[in-house]
């Protein structure tokens, strides 16, 4: 297995009410809506696989779990920035699926259906404790981090989590989430749903 590395920024929102039960139960908790719909957005600032630079490539893993994630049968679709070359698209697909090792490999046995890949223009914006990601008409999500009262300018963190992106996650409220891809649909702007963000660093 060839080595690879990617690092950058991550954010996600899901349809669970704040705070999502997955993190506190190591994926065994019942989603607050009965099922889970989540969009995990990643912006690679620096990365490489098999000699292919992945600098600047963004991608989103869109997931639907019919119950607790630990029970499996998760449907997954992948959205990759339309600017990615064929070689970059192949590399990201292998990394995001766990086929080339890394953090997503542990989740692969829980996936019951891979719904395919879409190419879209992806924007990934950061502003203090705020994050926003848009992928054409398929995904539009934004969040606002929960500010710490003990350290100005920092969010409240959860640490030592089982989350595949990072063991340390910032808590956030989703300001809006719109998912319409791979048969996964969700539209909410209540401000009461869950979100997370953090830097990430993956190796395989």
Convert the pLDDT of each residue in 142-164 to its tens digit.
999 999 999 999 999 999 999 99
What is 4-203's CATH topology?
A: Acetoacetate decarboxylase-like (2.40.400)
* Contact partners, residue 159, CB within 8 Å, separation at least 6: 167, 168
* Contact partners, residue 22, CB within 8 Å, separation at least 6: 16, 29, 31, 36, 68, 69
Chain segment 50-95, per-residue pLDDT in tens: 999 999 999 999 999 999 999 999 999 999 999 999 999 999 999 9
Q: Cα separation of 6 and 82, whole Å?
A: 18
Distance from the Cα of residue 60 to its chain's centroid: 6
HSE, CB side, 13 Å, CA atoms: give it for residue 147.
Answer: 6
Long-range contacts of residues 126-132, Cβ cutoff 8 Å, at least 24 apart: 126/9, 128/153, 129/155, 129/170, 129/172, 131/9, 131/11, 131/172, 131/195, 131/197
């Amino acid at each position: 297995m060839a080595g690879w590395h990617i690092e950058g920024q991550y954010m996600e929102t899901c349809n669970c009410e704040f705070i999502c039960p997955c993190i506190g139960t190591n994926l065994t908790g019942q989603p607050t809506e009965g099922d889970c719909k989540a969009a995990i957005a990643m912006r690679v600032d620096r990365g490489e696989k098999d000699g292919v630079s992945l600098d600047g490539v963004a991608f989103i893993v869109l997931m639907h779990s019919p119950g607790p994630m630990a029970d499996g049968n998760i449907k997954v679709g992948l959205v990759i920035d339309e600017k990615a070359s064929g070689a970059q698209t192949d590399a990201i697909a292998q990394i995001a699926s766990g086929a080339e090792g890394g953090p997503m490999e542990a989740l692969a046995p829980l996936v019951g259906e891979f719904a395919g890949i879409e190419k879209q223009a992806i924007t990934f914006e950061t502003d203090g404790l705020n994050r926003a990601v848009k992928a054409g008409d398929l995904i539009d999500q934004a969040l606002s981090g929960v500010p710490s009262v003990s350290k100005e300018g920092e969010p409240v963190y959860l640490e030592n989590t089982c989350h595949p992106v990072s063991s340390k996650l910032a808590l956030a409220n989703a300001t809006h989430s719109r998912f319409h891809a791979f048969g996964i649909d969700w539209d909410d702007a209540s401000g009461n749903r869950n979100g997370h963000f953090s830097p990430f660093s993956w190796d395989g």
